[in-house]
Amino acid sequence: MAGCLTLAGRVEEVGAARAFARRLLDGNPLLEPVLLVVSELVTNSVEHSGSGRPGGTITLYLLHVGTRVRVEVRDDGADGVPSVRPAGWPAVPEPAGSLDELDVGGRGLRLVTAVAACWGFTAGRRETTTWAELTPDHE
């Protein structure tokens, strides 16, 4: 089973990407971790690529073969490449016991790493595709 959806590069479209994945994978035991990965990868594309500019787009591809689900998000490219940020990035130091509001950012690919069997990217001059593969034995 496979599906493809192209969206405007706006944060409001993350919900549409999740709804698409939910429809396509309804009843799949990997649905919840797939929804997390879709949310994180689409959000990262909006926030960190040219897709977030006016007229930018993001294309979500889902492929379900056997017990494996592959999520791919193609965006309009960026100056850098997807990478896991160090813990606390870009947190402002706070007294022990408090959580800085900025400290909740930068965890998208950490979450993807936690739930996916593997993830990676291909970066070209005008687009980047970030992908993740999920399997039941990795949960």
pLDDT in tens, the chain (139 residues): 789 999 999 999 999 999 999 999 999 999 999 999 999 999 999 988 999 999 999 999 999 999 999 999 999 988 765 556 655 545 444 444 444 444 445 567 788 888 899 989 898 888 999 999 999 987 5
The pLDDT assigned to 106 comes to 54
The pLDDT assigned to 107 comes to 67
In this structure, what is the dihedral angle of CA atoms 47, 53, 54, 60, given to the nearest 10 degrees? -60
HSE-up of 117 (CA within 13 Å, CB side)? 12
The pLDDT assigned to 102 comes to 41
**φ and ψ at residue 118, rounded to 5 degrees:** -165, 160
The pLDDT assigned to 129 comes to 93
The pLDDT assigned to 97 comes to 45
Q: How far is CA 1 from CA 24, 25, 65, in A?
A: 8, 9, 7
Q: Are the C-beta atoms of residues 50 and 77 closer than 8 Å to each other?
A: yes
The pLDDT assigned to 91 comes to 45
